[in-house]
């Protein structure tokens, strides 16, 4: 079975419910000095949890000094909350504001979790941006001159491609390993993203975003963004990918008509036309670990709806000792039975395969990249060049594996380029490129450490670089 490994860019008991009372787990982080240091989470009204307030540290440290705001662990690429108990009340909606790294969310709960309302990590949609102001995701040179930016994913997901801006600043591809591409002047459409399943191909547009990740959701990762669209004064961004979340508790996760949703953002369309479509983002990742999973409700990690191609669904993982629920779940989950009293695995075990972008044109990449696209200092700044050499470092990855490097520009561009006949012509460059890397050097055999090399095309402006590995 293919097992892709990813390196991210520059994740109560209620009246009327029959709850088994005997089973319990030993979730890491729910005992010891840091346990319960974010207190109890009780939500009774619509609430936005701001992940940018998390302190930077190690996931299991005592967070009493910053109680309720979590810890961002760069090594785990996750914002971790350690609660004593969680209750989301009926009619309440919980959403998230992203950390600068767009890391996934992890809740470690020593008691029980009650989901009676809504927990939403869905990617931002471009479908209804024409109806309100100010708008950053649709663009018109007169009516919306500040538009044309990528849509925002749920935490742990990836951004949707930017809209067309003008004759030289074009629509861009979606971001993430399964990001949808943007198409050329013949169709002006974005392509939808993949994750747990591939996005469908549309004739005349091209293949959809690829499938990536694995059913265990270890490491925790979300959905990819759909490609942006547009031409001739109009443009609209692609939908963003659904986020990724792990909820792990020692006792019960109970639903009373509650819902956890991490859907991909839907497509967007120019008013009255079908030609300038931004495509849909893929669904995200939901992983639940508990002793008893009970009640009625919904789990959803659907791909965003509509557009020039159908987006892929995300991934759902359920790990529990006992099961007494009638949950509606899309897509079908991966399910694991846990022994009573066991300690579940939260993170990739020691010695697991690893991959990271080590350098770009001999400039070291940061250990914790942001890919901020101008909101902060670039992770790596290069002179204006047509290509760059990317070095990927893998550890505990077989030499027979395939390593790919994907580069996605924030916006496409029109550039003057000489053809094979020597004639210089204006050429659209709005696509993400994925290049298969070759082995450059075996650095060590214990642990097996390999440097891989790929030369990728570059454009002026901001681009995001990612590496993925497919093991044999």
Which carries the bigger pLDDT value, residue 390 or residue 275? 390
Contact 103, 79 (CB under 8 A): yes
- pTM, full prediction: 0.91
Q: pLDDT of 382-399, one tens digit each?
A: 998 889 999 999 999 999
What count of other Cβ atoms lies within 10 Å of the Cβ of residue 89? 15
pLDDT for residue 417 is more than 80: no
Which two three-digit tokens encode residue 11? 């994740």
Coil, helix or strand for 267?
Answer: coil
Rg (CA), the chain: 22
Task: Over range 428-434, report the average pLDDT.
Answer: 81
pLDDT greater at residue 181 or residue 207: 181
Confidence class of residue 145 from pLDDT cuts 50, 70 and 90? Answer: very low
DSSP E strand boundaries for 332-399: 334-337, 354-360, 363-364, 387-395
Q: What pLDDT was estimated at residue 143? A: 46
Q: Quick one: pLDDT at residue 22? A: 57
Q: Is the pLDDT of residue 136 over 50?
A: no
Residues with Cβ within 8 Å of 153's Cβ and at least 6 positions away in sequence, in order, are 98, 102, 123, 124, 159, 160, 176, 222, 223, 225, 240, 241, 242, 243, 265, 281, 284
Lowest-pLDDT choice from 8-22, 288-302, 340-354, 432-446 = 8-22
The three-state DSSP-derived secondary structure of 21-89 is CCCCCCCCCCCCCCCCCCCEEEECCCEEEEHHHCEECCCCCCCHHHCCCCEEECCCCEEEEEECEEEEC
Question: Looking at residue 237, what is its pLDDT?
Answer: 83
Domains and CATH numbers, the chain: 1-350 (no CATH), 354-471 (2.60.40)
Max CA separation in the chain (angstroms): 77
What is the pLDDT at residue 384? Answer: 85
> Is the confidence at residue 355, as pLDDT, over 50?
yes
Which residue reads 């993982």 in tokens?
317
More confident position, 9 or 313: 313
Closest CA to 165 of 237, 233, 239, 238: 233
Helix (H) or strand (E) holding 289: strand 285-300
Cis peptide before 134 (omega within 30 of 0): yes
For residue 190, what is the DSSP state? B
Greater pLDDT, 306 or 158? 158
Q: Which of 222-236, 287-301, 310-324, 382-396 has the lowest mean pLDDT?
A: 222-236
Question: What pLDDT is stored for residue 187 in this prediction?
Answer: 53
- Checking if the pLDDT of 8 tops 60, the result is no
37-58 pLDDT, tens digit per residue, is 999 999 999 999 999 999 999 9
Name the helix (H) or strand (E) containing 297: strand 285-300
Confidence of residue 13 (pLDDT cuts 50, 70, 90): very low
pLDDT for the residue numbered 253: 98
Q: 3-state class of 131 per DSSP?
A: helix
Residue 122 is predicted with a pLDDT of: 98
Confidence of residue 228 (pLDDT cuts 50, 70, 90): confident
Query: For residues 227 and 182, is the Cβ–Cβ distance under 8 A?
Result: yes
Cβ 331 vs Cβ 283: under 8 Å: yes
- C-beta separation of 241 from 195 below 8 A: yes
DSSP string of 409-458, one letter each residue: ESSEEEEEEE-TTS-EEEEEE---EEEE-EEEEEEEETTEEEEEEEEEE-
């Amino acid at each position: 079975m293919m097992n892709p490994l990813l390196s991210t860019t520059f994740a109560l008991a209620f009246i009327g419910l029959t709850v088994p009372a005997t089973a319990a787990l030993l979730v890491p982080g729910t005992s010891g000095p840091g346990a319960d240091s974010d207190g109890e989470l009780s939500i009774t009204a619509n609430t936005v949890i701001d992940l940018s307030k998390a302190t930077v540290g190690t996931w299991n440290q005592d967070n009493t000094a910053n109680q309720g705001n979590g810890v961002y662990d760069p090594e785990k690429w996750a914002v971790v909350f350690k609660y004593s108990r969680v209750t989301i009340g009926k009619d309440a909606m919980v959403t998230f504001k992203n950390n600068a790294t767009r890391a996934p969310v992890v809740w470690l709960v020593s008691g029980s979790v009650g989901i009676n309302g809504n927990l939403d990590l869905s990617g931002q949609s471009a479908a209804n941006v024409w109806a309100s102001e100010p708008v950053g995701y649709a663009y018109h040179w007169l009516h919306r001159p500040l538009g044309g930016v990528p849509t925002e994913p749920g935490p742990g997901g990836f951004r949707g491609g930017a809209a067309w801006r003008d004759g030289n600043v074009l629509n861009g591809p979606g971001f993430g390993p399964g990001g949808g591409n943007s198409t050329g002047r013949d169709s002006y459409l974005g392509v939808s993203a993949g994750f747990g399943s591939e996005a469908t191909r549309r004739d005349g547009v091209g293949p959809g975003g690829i499938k990536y990740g694995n059913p265990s959701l270890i490491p925790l990762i979300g959905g990819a963004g759909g490609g942006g669209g547009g031409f001739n004064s109009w443009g609209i961004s692609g939908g963003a990918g659904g986020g990724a979340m792990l909820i792990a508790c020692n006792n019960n996760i109970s639903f009373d008509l509650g819902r956890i949703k991490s859907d991909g953002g839907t497509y967007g369309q120019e008013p009255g036309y079908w030609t300038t479509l931004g495509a849909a983002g893929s669904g995200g990742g939901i992983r639940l670990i508990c002793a008893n999973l009970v009640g009625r409700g919904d789990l959803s990690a659907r791909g965003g709806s509509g557009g020039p191609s159908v987006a892929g669904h995300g991934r759902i993982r359920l790990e529990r000792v006992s099961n007494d629920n009638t949950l509606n779940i899309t897509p079908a989950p991966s399910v694991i039975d846990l022994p009573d009293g066991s300690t579940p695995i939260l993170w990739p075990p020691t010695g697991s395969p690893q991959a990271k972008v080590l350098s770009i044109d001999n400039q070291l990449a940061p250990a914790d990249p942001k890919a901020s696209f101008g909101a902060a200092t670039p992770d790596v700044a290069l002179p204006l060049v047509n290509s760059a050499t990317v070095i990927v470092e893998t550890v505990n990855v077989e030499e027979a594996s395939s390593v790919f490097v994907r580069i996605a520009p924030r916006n496409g561009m029109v550039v003057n380029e000489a053809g094979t006949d020597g004639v210089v012509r204006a050429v659209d460059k709005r696509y993400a490129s994925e290049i298969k890397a070759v082995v450059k050097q075996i650095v060590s055999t214990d642990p097996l450490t390999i440097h891989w090399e790929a030369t990728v095309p570059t454009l002026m402006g901001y681009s995001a670089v990612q590496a993925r590995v497919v093991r044999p």
